[in-house]
Chain A
Amino acid sequence: MTEDTDIQKVFPLRRIALIAAICIAIAVFGFTIYRYVDFPLSESRQEINFPDSHSFVLENGLQLVVIPNDKVPAVAHLVLYRAGSIDEPVGKSGISHMLEHMMFKETGELAVGEFSEIIAREGGEDNAFTSSDLTGYYQNISKEKLDLVMRMEADRMHRLVLTEEEFVKENNVVLEERNLRVDNKPAAVLREQMRAALFLNHPYGRPVIGWKHEIERLTLDDAKAFYKQYYSPENAIVVVSGDVVASEVLALTKQHYGAIPSRPSPVERTALPEEPEHQSARAVFHKDEKVNVPTWYRSYLAPGINDHDIRDIFALITLDHILAGTDTSRLYQSMVVNNGIALSISSSYDYLNRGSGIFSISATPIEGVSFETIENMIEAHITEIKQKGITIEELERAKTALIASEIYARESLKHLAFLYGSFYAIAGDATLLDNWSGYIKKVTIDDVIKASNKVFNSKQSVTGYLEKETEVKESVQ
């Protein structure tokens, strides 16, 4: 095809000449580090579970995770760096995300913008994301192109070329992204403020995209320093899900990523400050003339996957579902259906973090119903759960749904790559996914009571109130 010729001009493809090689320095993450290893390895499971994953570590420290799945002849290729907004130096919020944008510019082999152009030309999709804990780059492409995308990701892992001209333009792009995601939306502004109030000491309190005044002042040198510090093979995980064989992917990975030099000493991380004891419930009020529908928000500091009893994590995953996860949930049935005081209600439990998790609840009061009424009723429900727990029917329904989610998750290569990649990067392995249904089945009503007593402590919470600004606005200037 003609397009292949065109690509070769800009990105000469070396033919792969793989020889049978001896496995060297392959560490298999087969040793569980979790406190609970007493779960039987679910020998007689009827249901279809998350697929198996294979993990290897190259000599230079790069970790490879392979999740074979041959539904379609395609692959999802994801490179995760264990670097996110919490790793940013003080005063440089937004640099991890800014660097993520710069990764699509010039590299040793590619000119500005060529990365995405080649992917599109090969019929693939690509994008990237930044979170508090991780930065990730992915491509979804036909399986023969895995060689190509690995080569390109390996190139930009160690040969990014950062220039002032591109940095300045991209800084404006990122400021527009912040406008779109945050500053145009009163609810997003409130959530940002709540996060800052929830964490008293930990950088989780900073927005991933960065504070506007700090984004504006980021420099090319900041980007270079962050790249140098965190973008290296021993700080990266390559995840491949799709129609592949693990051993073949390992060979390809060695070929493309194996030669990237690891740094002489391990990544120097700024030690993350721990949260002090939280002693006061906090409240954040945000008023904006644009708000038509007032909304109530509550966030609690919650267990994260690394530093707490794993039973708590699964109890809270289950509780999240039971509390407001569906239309049959407690809060929806009580507040939206039976008492008719709320228009909508939702909860979420964010646990896949290096540090603390967050358990959040939000509710939209019906016109004329006060925040106080909403808050009182939600707290009454929480108190009831802390004391009496949940019913066995609720528990069983939640388990059915959470276990069935494993089958549906298998349909998307990209989803699987993200899921596994995040678990390996943050929890160290995929034990929890491999035993997902086992852990879910083990959740008891007592577990839920115990976990909810740990989490639902108003002293470690922030409540947010989003309301319409009704006062006459001060004139600008």
Chain B
Amino acid sequence: MMSLYRLLILLPLIALTIAPQTSLAEWAEVKEIRTNSDHTVWFMEDDFLPIVSVSISFTRAGYAHDPEGKQGLAVLATSLLDEGAGEYDSLAFKTKLEALATNISFSVSEDSVFITLETLTEHFDEAIELLSLALTSPQFSTNSVERIRRQLIASIERNRENPSYLASRLLDSHLFAGHPYSKAKLGTKESLNAITREDLQQYISKHFTQKNIAVSVAGAIKKKRLLKRLDGLIANLAPESLNQPLPEVTLNTSSMTLREEYPVPQSTVLFALPGYKREHPDYMTAYLLNYILGGGSFQSRLVQRIREDNGLVYSTYSYLSYNDASGILAGYAGTQNENVDKVINLIKEEIELLATNGVTQDELQLAKNYIIQSFPLKLTRNRNLSSMIGRMQLDKLGTDYLNRREEEFKKITLEDVNRVAKSLLDSNQLLFVVVGGKADYAFDPKQ
């Protein structure tokens, strides 16, 4: 409720002094700290709110590591982690989390499993205990396993209603043909049904170990308390990891268009080119280049040409994506069926133009400004910070990355970007995937 005393604040209107241009990126230090049993944790202390976020990743535990015939195992196992653990059954476990105002979320990528715990400082100890139980002794009760299995099978069915999903499956299975990355994350009804309780237990003991865990923390917690609790959590995991790295990828890219018919008025167009892995020395240069091509801003070449000049799409963008064994540059456009070929030609033209003529100094400056200055705006939540720090750990970027990032982007030159454009944007390797209706297909109710 607004009270009168606030009015008083208004009376003397002080001249607004504009602070000198300060960089937003004055990050608190990320520290590498060690538990008693010598496991490292990356930690940023932030006392602004009594919230702590813990991000955990297990490498080589993602869905591309699922055994043959048991695709979907990684997702099924992680979806069951909060379905009862230790002495708590599913309902008791979740009730406990709610009472602690604590949220645990899980996600699975092709390479890794990511777990984020978000809790209040006052409940930190209990929250970590619950998480520890979830990671080491999930119950995998029949009721829960069958329920989550059914939900995942329904998710597969529901995904197949979505043209963007169909297009991305088509893209992945072509691009990564013969490699585990071509597998479907959720598997199939058959592969999910083939997973046994033993498979789930084995998955946990084999993939959640002291060897492949990475822990990062952001929030209001003291180092001593943090280390004490995390030491217990890590010590409870199996010591050894037997996970093997995935084979290297040979991307199946060539200048061609794959099409799949699906009865919708708007087609999904995806495209892909070989990109870079994160450790590639030109990765950050490619990141700037991608921003200019279609990296999300209204000023990107794709948006300007396809949406602003021609009004052919609502959304079009491109992105760089990398994993343990490959990197791609990919993109999206959604357009009504009859305009698909026009849009494909425009994408191709823009890619060729960038490769031939490069970017302008002005575009590069805009890209740098945006990428440097908007970065901290995306990291105001502790959970985003702890995830980012976790990413830095996995990608071996160093604890000083947050403060180094700006300099690294700044020193990239126009020549660097144009050199990378020439080598990366090779239209002879440009693969298109289209999922949508026939050109004359539009849901006109009058028909």
A233-246 CB mask vs B (1 if < 8 Å, else 0) is 00000000000011
A142 B373 Cβ-Cβ under 8 A: yes
B299-325 CB mask vs A (1 if < 8 Å, else 0) is 100001001111111110000000000
Tell me the B1-56 residues at the A interface (CB within 8 Å): 1-4, 6-7, 9-16, 18-19, 21-22, 24, 48-51
Q: How far is the CA of A336 from the CA of B309 in the complex (A)?
A: 50
Q: Does A431 reach chain B (CB closer than 8 Å)? A: yes
Given A16-B18, A169-B308, A179:B13 Cβ within 8 A: no
Checking B18, B266, B304 against A184 with a beta-carbon cut-off of 8 angstroms, the contacting residue is B266
A179 B334 Cβ-Cβ under 8 A: yes
B311 A172 Cβ-Cβ under 8 A: yes
Q: How far is the CA of A302 from the CA of B120 in the complex (A)?
A: 34
Checking A168, A169, A291 against B161 with a beta-carbon cut-off of 8 angstroms, the contacting residue is A291
Q: How far is the CA of A73 from the CA of B158 in the complex (A)?
A: 42
Checking A144, A180, A343 against B18 with a beta-carbon cut-off of 8 angstroms, the contacting residue is A144
B14 A54 Cβ-Cβ under 8 A: no
Q: Does A137 reach chain B (CB closer than 8 Å)? A: no
A416-455 CB mask vs B (1 if < 8 Å, else 0) is 0000000000000111001100000000000000000000
Q: How far is the CA of A288 from the CA of B118 in the complex (A)?
A: 40
A20 B94 Cβ-Cβ under 8 A: no
A30 B1 Cβ-Cβ under 8 A: yes
Q: How far is the CA of A73 from the CA of B90 in the complex (A)?
A: 42
A407 B51 Cβ-Cβ under 8 A: yes
B100-115 CB mask vs A (1 if < 8 Å, else 0) is 0100000000000000
Q: How far is the CA of A361 from the CA of B87 in the complex (A)?
A: 33
Q: Which residues of B contact A3 (CB under 8 A)?
A: 365-366, 369
Q: Does B345 reach chain A (CB closer than 8 Å)? A: no
B12 A20 Cβ-Cβ under 8 A: yes
Nearest residue, chain A, Cβ from B378? A125
Tell me the B347-397 residues at the A interface (CB within 8 Å): 362, 365-366, 369-370, 372-374, 376-377, 380-382
Return B206 CB to nearest CB of chain A, in Å.
Answer: 27
Q: How far is the CA of A343 from the CA of B151 in the complex (A)?
A: 6
Tell me the A169-210 residues at the B interface (CB within 8 Å): 169-177, 179-180, 183-186
Q: Does A372 reach chain B (CB closer than 8 Å)? A: no
Q: Which residues of A contact B264 (CB under 8 A)?
A: 179, 183-184, 290
Return B226 CB to nearest CB of chain A, in Å.
Answer: 19
Return B100 CB to nearest CB of chain A, in Å.
Answer: 9
Q: Does A55 reach chain B (CB closer than 8 Å)? A: yes
Q: How far is the CA of A125 from the CA of B376 in the complex (A)?
A: 11
Q: How far is the CA of A18 from the CA of B12 in the complex (A)?
A: 12
Q: How far is the CA of A449 from the CA of B3 in the complex (A)?
A: 34
**Interface segment out of the listed B230-238, B275-283, B439-447:** B439-447
Checking A28, A173, A340 against B313 with a beta-carbon cut-off of 8 angstroms, the contacting residue is A173
Tell me the A244-274 residues at the B interface (CB within 8 Å): 245-248, 250-252
Q: Which residues of B contact A431 (CB under 8 A)?
A: 1
Q: How far is the CA of A429 from the CA of B3 in the complex (A)?
A: 12
Q: How far is the CA of A431 from the CA of B3 in the complex (A)?
A: 11
Q: How far is the CA of A292 from the CA of B336 in the complex (A)?
A: 23
Q: Does A380 reach chain B (CB closer than 8 Å)? A: no
B154 A250 Cβ-Cβ under 8 A: no
B369 A144 Cβ-Cβ under 8 A: no
Q: Does A278 reach chain B (CB closer than 8 Å)? A: no
Q: Does A2 reach chain B (CB closer than 8 Å)? A: yes
Q: How far is the CA of A208 from the CA of B414 in the complex (A)?
A: 44
Q: Which residues of A contact B6 (CB under 8 A)?
A: 28, 30, 52, 54, 246
A141 B377 Cβ-Cβ under 8 A: yes
The interface size bin for chain B is: 35 or more
B370 A48 Cβ-Cβ under 8 A: no
Return A336 CB to nearest CB of chain B, in Å.
Answer: 7
Q: How far is the CA of A172 from the CA of B160 in the complex (A)?
A: 27
Given A54-B2, A184-B264, A435-B1, A327:B94 Cβ within 8 A: yes
B362 A73 Cβ-Cβ under 8 A: no
B101 A173 Cβ-Cβ under 8 A: no
Nearest residue, chain B, Cβ from A476? B447
Interface centre among B13, B24, B90 (most CB of A within 10 A): B13
Q: Does A21 reach chain B (CB closer than 8 Å)? A: yes
Nearest residue, chain B, Cβ from A179? B266
Given A179-B265, A328-B94, A19:B15 Cβ within 8 A: yes
A180 B101 Cβ-Cβ under 8 A: no
Checking B14, B334, B374 against A123 with a beta-carbon cut-off of 8 angstroms, the contacting residue is B374
Given A401-B98, A404-B101, A16:B158 Cβ within 8 A: no
Return A372 CB to nearest CB of chain B, in Å.
Answer: 19
A30 B21 Cβ-Cβ under 8 A: no
Return A125 CB to nearest CB of chain B, in Å.
Answer: 6
Q: Does B147 reach chain A (CB closer than 8 Å)? A: yes
A410 B154 Cβ-Cβ under 8 A: no
Return A25 CB to nearest CB of chain B, in Å.
Answer: 12
A125 B16 Cβ-Cβ under 8 A: no
Q: Does B150 reach chain A (CB closer than 8 Å)? A: yes
Q: Which residues of A contact B307 (CB under 8 A)?
A: 173
A292 B160 Cβ-Cβ under 8 A: yes
Q: Does B157 reach chain A (CB closer than 8 Å)? A: yes
Given A144-B22, A337-B147, A407-B50, A328:B336 Cβ within 8 A: no
Q: Which residues of A contact B309 (CB under 8 A)?
A: 169
Q: Does A333 reach chain B (CB closer than 8 Å)? A: yes
Q: How far is the CA of A327 from the CA of B105 in the complex (A)?
A: 13
B369 A186 Cβ-Cβ under 8 A: no
Q: Which residues of A contact B13 (CB under 8 A)?
A: 18, 20-23, 247, 250-251
Nearest residue, chain A, Cβ from B22? A73
Q: Does A221 reach chain B (CB closer than 8 Å)? A: no
Q: Does A388 reach chain B (CB closer than 8 Å)? A: no
Given A30-B2, A116-B297, A177-B314, A144:B10 Cβ within 8 A: no
B370 A120 Cβ-Cβ under 8 A: yes
B298 A117 Cβ-Cβ under 8 A: yes
B336 A179 Cβ-Cβ under 8 A: yes
A28 B2 Cβ-Cβ under 8 A: yes
Q: Does A229 reach chain B (CB closer than 8 Å)? A: no
Interface residues of chain A, those whose CB is within 8 Å of chain B, are 1-3, 6, 16, 18-23, 26, 28-30, 32, 41, 48, 52-56, 71-74, 104, 112-113, 116-117, 120-125, 140-144, 147, 168-177, 179-180, 183-186, 245-248, 250-252, 289-293, 326-328, 333, 336-337, 340, 343-344, 364, 366-367, 397, 400-401, 404, 407-408, 410-413, 429-431, 434-435, 476-477
22 A–B contacts from the bound complex (CB under 8 Å): A20-B14, A30-B1, A30-B6, A30-B7, A116-B298, A117-B298, A120-B370, A121-B365, A173-B313, A176-B315, A247-B10, A247-B12, A292-B160, A293-B161, A328-B91, A328-B98, A337-B91, A340-B147, A344-B151, A397-B98, A400-B99, A411-B49
Q: With A116-B297, A143-B19, A343-B151 given, can you name 6 additional A-B contacts, CB distance below 8 Å? A: A16-B16, A74-B376, A176-B315, A337-B91, A337-B143, A407-B101
Nearest 4 pairs between A and B by C-beta?
A123-B373, A404-B101, A169-B311, A179-B266
